[in-house]
Every structure is written in C-alpha cells, then in structure tokens.
Amino acid sequence: MRWSPENMTDQSGKRFIITGGNGGLGSVTARVLSEHGATVVLACRNQEKAGEVARRMTGGHVEVASLDLADLSSVRRFADEQGQFDVLINNAGLMNTPLRRTSDGFEMQFGVNHLGHFLLTGLLIDRVQDRVVTLSSIAHAHTLRLRIDDLNYERRTYQRNLAYAQSKLSNLMFARELHRRLEASGSTVDSYAVHPGVSGTELFTRTETVFDRLGAHGAAIVGHPPENAAESTLFAATEAADPTVFWGPARGILQARGPVGAARSSRLSKDQQLAEILWEQSEQFVGMTFLPRGGGR
C-alpha cells in the first residue's frame, strides 16, 4: 500500500526545524506537518519569502528564523537561539550553480548542501529529541569518485553537475555515518537519508543558463509533483521506519517518481571508511568536533 500524508498521525506537540522551508519541497513538507498540528520552524535565508509561506499555512504554529547555510557564522547564530525540538530536516539545497564560494571560502554547492547542514546538525544534536532527516538525491550516484583531496574545487576544473553530485553523495554518507555514531553513543536519536526523486521545483532554475527555462518543465515531465516528491521526507520524519534504509521513490531505473520505498544507492555511498574520512574532513572545515567514532554523545 502506498504511503501518503493521509496516513500520518497527529503531530501536535512536536517541533520540527526545516532548512529551506520557504519554497519547493521544503514548503510542502512544512505545510503538511503544520496541517497535522506540528510546530514548524522555517529556517531560511530569504525571510520575506519565508514569511509569505508561513502566512499561508494553517493548523499548527509556524515560525520563521534566519539561517544562511552559506555563512557558518549564521549557522552558529541560528543554533544558539534554538531550544529542544523533535526533528531536524536538512532540506535546503542548491543544484548545478556556477562556481561560487561561500562566506567561508567553500565551493558553494558543497558548502551549502553538506557543510552548512553538517555544522547545523553538530550544533543541535544535543537538542534533537527524535531524529534527523537529510535530503540526498538520485544524483549522488552520478559521480564515481569522492575527491576527498579537493572537495572545494581548488585544484581541478569546476564541473557544476559533478559538484552537485559530490554534495548529494556527501549528504547520504553523512546521514549514514551520523546514524552509526549516534547508535554507538547509545543515543535514541535516529538519522535518516531520503531522496525525493525528481520534481519540477525552482531547484532547476538556478543554473544561470538557458537550461533554467527548460529544467523545471523537463523535471515535471520526468518526475512527479512536489506534493508527491515530499512524501519521502514526511515519511522519514514521522514514521517508525528503518533508519538504515535510503527512503525515496524506488521504482524504475531512474527512481525519479513513485511511492516511498527502499531506494537503491551507489556502492561508493556505502563506503564506511570513506564516510569516516569525509566526517573528519568536514569537522576540520567547520571547526567543530562532535560524536567521536568511539562513542559518547
């Protein structure tokens, strides 16, 4: 039987933090959770747009908070303002953008999609009561190598599609390694990795090329509506599901659309030794150590 938000239990009394909740799949996720009684924090860079989204929501309580994942000082300020909550949804992301750097000098897609969320999770992990959900992508499999020696494209030619694939591979490896470390520490908090398939959201309109005119339309044809694409996130955020499974559309070669199921992932994404190296490198980049491999929260 296909899972849908109609199967979701009442979320009253629960607090969710969603990065990038001001548009795309994030706004759909926030709206559905709100309709089921949850308190939702829209952690966004664009405060005006987030406010408009929040005003359209009904049901639970919706808050707007400032968070710029391209600026680690902003991540730290946001984290300092948060108390205990139930679920962190690492949703925000950029795709196939021109070569740019974050405020801290990191390649933008890797910096926003992975490093910003890595630091945010580390700063908030002691306040998460239930779980962390991190959005990866089927694009994680579009790279055959994780260049751990040059994650920020400082010594190689920039390829925007491979940079995006690297960031989404990092999201998936991080989510899995986070679960292993939480489990080793004796924590009851779970970590889930999900993918939404393909959906024609504004994610496809930021390449600053002619593709912006065609991307969202093409994605809408190949994939499924945002309301369906958000189901894997909502499922992982609310159901008692297996956290070791990569949840998302699982049918077909592309896994671009369809009901939530146990999705395939690349062999590279399952390399635990590489995941540990990525974790350690990420700690060095953001200047924070948390959940040491030997256990201890």
With a CB cutoff of 8 Å and minimum separation 6, the contacts of 150 are: 156
Closest-CA residue to 172 (of 192, 150, 189, 155): 192
Closest-CA residue to 16 (of 2, 34, 3): 34
Residue 108 near residue 94, CB atoms below 8 Å: yes
With a CB cutoff of 8 Å and minimum separation 6, the contacts of 68 are: 45, 74, 75, 103
Question: What tokens were used for 132?
Answer: 């962390």
CA separation for the pair 129, 88 (Å, rounded) = 9
CA separation for the pair 23, 94 (Å, rounded) = 12
Given the residues 153, 158, 164, 192, the one annotated as active site:
164
CA separation for the pair 239, 133 (Å, rounded) = 12
CA separation for the pair 200, 193 (Å, rounded) = 21
Is-catalytic flag, 158?
A: no
* CA dihedral sign, ordered 269, 249, 163, 87: negative
CA separation for the pair 9, 3 (Å, rounded) = 12
CA separation for the pair 23, 68 (Å, rounded) = 15
Catalytic residue set: 164
